[in-house]
Amino acid sequence: MPTLIAPSILSANFLHLEKDIEMINQSEADWFHLDVMDGVFVPNISFGFAIIEKIALKAKKPLDVHLMIVDPDRYIERFRAAGAHLISIHVEACHHLHRAVYAIKNSGAKAGLVLNPASPVSVLENIVADADYILLMSVNPGFGGQTFIKETIEKVTALKDLMIRKQSAALIEVDGGVNLQNAPKLIHAGADVLVAGNAIFASPDPTGTIHKLKHL
């Protein structure tokens, strides 16, 4: 399967957001990646339902909504109603993972589980087969533009091994500091979806960068 590319809207120009959305629409990108931060689970606040609803009006590709919030299961239906096609929740922020995963699926969205850099893949042992995708954070969540944590490459390999053992068909997504230099190693290790923010939006040619990531 070709690698899926999900530009992170957190790095877009919010004064000209419609322009950046249209750039993604016209590019070879596959998803829009939207980071929702509450200032509690992570030390930053980003955007919520209103912005997602507006993006959904213009986006021609699925919205991959990453919830960096406490008690995310309280808001699943609202994010789905706002336009989310994929909803991912942090293992570290949710007390009842199976219940939350199936609440996401029952809403009609794809269900993702997220691991912070310090969380081992072993915590997914009893649920990896239930998720549609697993998102590995390759930076500590909360801010864009951070340096990629190189141990993530080994973590992708370990997750792939666990998924094979558990007969999981989930996709592996990686988010944080992904660029043209480390992306080939992530793909070789087993990553299916690459989230890229600054690597795309700080590029002099964002569409060209998406093309390069897509065809590594």
User: What's the pLDDT at 78?
Assistant: 98
User: Is the pLDDT assigned to residue 146 strictly greater than 80?
Assistant: no
Confidence of residue 205 (pLDDT cuts 50, 70, 90): very high
CATH top-level class of 4-214: alpha beta
User: What would you measure as the largest C-alpha separation in the chain, in angstroms?
Assistant: 47
- Model confidence pLDDT, tens digit, residues 53-98: 999 999 999 999 999 999 999 999 999 999 999 999 999 999 899 9
User: What's the pLDDT at 142?
Assistant: 75
User: What's the pLDDT at 1?
Assistant: 77
User: Is the pLDDT assigned to residue 145 strictly greater than 90?
Assistant: no
Exposed/middle/buried for residue 158 (C-beta within 10 Å: 0-12, 13-18, 19+): middle
User: What's the pLDDT at 57?
Assistant: 98
Is 20 catalytic? The answer is no
- Model confidence pLDDT, tens digit, residues 38-52: 999 999 999 999 999
Tokens of 87: 């909803």
User: What's the pLDDT at 141?
Assistant: 84
Among residues 35, 38, 73, 132, the one annotated as catalytic is 35
In the chain, domain spans:
4-214
pLDDT, average across residues 85-112 = 97
DSSP, collapsed to helix, strand or coil, labels residue 136 as strand
Strands 171-175 and 193-196: parallel
Among residues 122, 107, 103, 112, the alpha carbon closest in space to that of 174 is found at 112
CA distance 168 to 107: 21
Among residues 193, 197, 88, the alpha carbon closest in space to that of 144 is found at 197
CB 173 within 8 Å of CB 190: no
Confidence of residue 144 (pLDDT cuts 50, 70, 90): low
Is 71 catalytic? The answer is no
- Model confidence pLDDT, tens digit, residues 157-182: 999 999 999 999 999 999 999 999 99
